[in-house]
Amino acid sequence: MTRLSVNINKLATLRNARGGNLPDIVKSAIDCQRFGADGITIHPRPDERHIRYRDVYDLKPVIHTEFNIEGKPSDTFINLVLEVKPRQVTLVPDADDAITSDHGWDTIAKQSYLRDIIQVFKTAGIRTSIFIDPDLEMIRAAADTGTDRIELYTGPYAHEFEKNNEQAVAPYIEAARCADALGIGINAGHDLNLYNLNYFRKQLPKLDEVSIGHALICDAIYLGLENTIQLYKRKLS
């Protein structure tokens, strides 16, 4: 069964809008796990507009499932991850002012750069994943970086899903086959929701993990957090 990692960034955005500690990010992570989440994902950004660096340290002791920290591998980020030692680190090529992740790594141009950073994390016993488009050339080059997994950027899939679901998922099927043949684990994330998730999961039978935040938190406003997490898990079963 594909694991569900709940990205709690949007809960931190809500907290930061008013100051104080509502919602409580630590309690939210505890509850997400209690409600069935297989992991917790956070993406601390340099401006701390949602998850703050302090949150990362506060969350570490309460996560008993899988802790996944995403981010651009700046010196600050690398040092943070090495101190906290999550189960997984996911490297993304975001600009500092990016609203959200919207493209994957150029694993050819950044081959040496990624290889060096990934080796640092692997030496520390942290599983690595890199955010990547469903491009076979980039996936083949990703294998040479030494990464344990890739996270397929599913924004284009979600955007095209309603128009033609078979056409939308086709590049991801090929990407997953390529990654599996190279011995790379497969994660996915971005704009996956209750409407498009199950179809995606069925087409990629070796999908290890999805990371979902924005859509899941939006659904939770109407459906409740516990019920929403269970609904997403059913889509993955």
User: Among 68-77, 87-96, 143-152, which stretch is predicted with the lowest mean pLDDT?
Assistant: 87-96
3-state secondary structure of 78: helix
Mean pLDDT of 220-235: 98
Whether the per-residue pLDDT at 133 is higher than 70: the answer is yes
Q: How far is 30 from 204, CA to CA, in rounded Å?
A: 29
Q: Does position 211 have pLDDT exceeding 90, yes or no?
A: yes
**Enclosing domain of residue 107:** 3-236
The band of 103, judged by pLDDT with boundaries at 50, 70 and 90, is confident
Whether pLDDT at 165 is above 80: yes
Domain count for the chain? 1
Cα 189–chain centre separation: 6
Indicate the pLDDT class of residue 88, thresholds 50, 70 and 90.
very high
* 8 A C-beta contact, residue 65 and residue 29: no
**In CATH, what number is assigned to the domain containing residue 47?**
3.20.20.70
Residue with tokens 């931190």: 12
Nearest to 178 by CA among 117, 127, 132, 122: 132
CA dist 172 and 152 (Å) reads 8
Distance between CA atoms of residues 143 and 218, nearest Å: 35
What pLDDT does residue 6 have? Answer: 98
The confidence score (pLDDT) of residue 3 equals: 98
Q: How confident is the model at residue 94 (pLDDT cuts 50, 70, 90)?
A: confident
Residues annotated as catalytic are 43, 70, 190
| Residue-level pLDDT at 187 | 98
How high is the pLDDT of residue 164?
Answer: 98
Q: Which of 3-7, 41-45, 93-97 has the lowest mean pLDDT?
A: 93-97
71 three-class SS: strand
Q: What's the rounded mean pLDDT across residues 120-143?
A: 97
Min mean pLDDT across 92-101, 160-169, 200-209, 212-221 is at 92-101
Query: What confidence score (pLDDT) does residue 98 get?
Result: 55
For residue 150, pLDDT beyond 70:
yes
Arithmetic mean of pLDDT, 47-68: 96
